[in-house]
């Protein structure tokens, strides 16, 4: 198993992992039903929490709009080339 690393850009790396193994699992049907219910309950709790966080962020954005606060505008570099005839 060898990992291969390569540069994508000045800020990104690509990693290719090669894993060659056979894995076998045995599951009990009752366990799977219980696991499903547990995952669904956890998902519902997490989604409710995310909804609260999203509502808070949306309220903060609304306050920013009321106060005239906007996103940072990055300066644009303009290059003017003189054409000589």
Please give the chain's pLDDT, 85 residues, in tens.
678 888 887 777 888 988 888 888 899 999 999 999 999 999 999 999 999 999 999 999 999 999 999 888 888 888 888 887 7
Report the distance separating Cα 54 and Cα 60, nearest Å. Answer: 10
pLDDT of residue 60: 94
pLDDT of residue 50: 96
- CA dihedral (66, 68, 71, 75) in degrees, to 10, reads 170
């Amino acid at each position: 198993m060898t990992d291969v690393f390569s540069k994508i850009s000045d800020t990104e790396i690509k990693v290719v992992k090669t894993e060659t193994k056979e894995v076998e699992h045995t599951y009990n049907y009752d366990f799977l039903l219980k696991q499903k219910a547990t995952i669904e309950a956890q998902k519902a709790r997490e989604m409710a929490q995310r909804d609260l966080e999203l509502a808070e962020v949306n309220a903060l954005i609304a306050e920013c709009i009321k106060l005239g606060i906007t996103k940072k505008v990055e300066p644009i570099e303009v290059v003017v080339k003189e054409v000589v005839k």
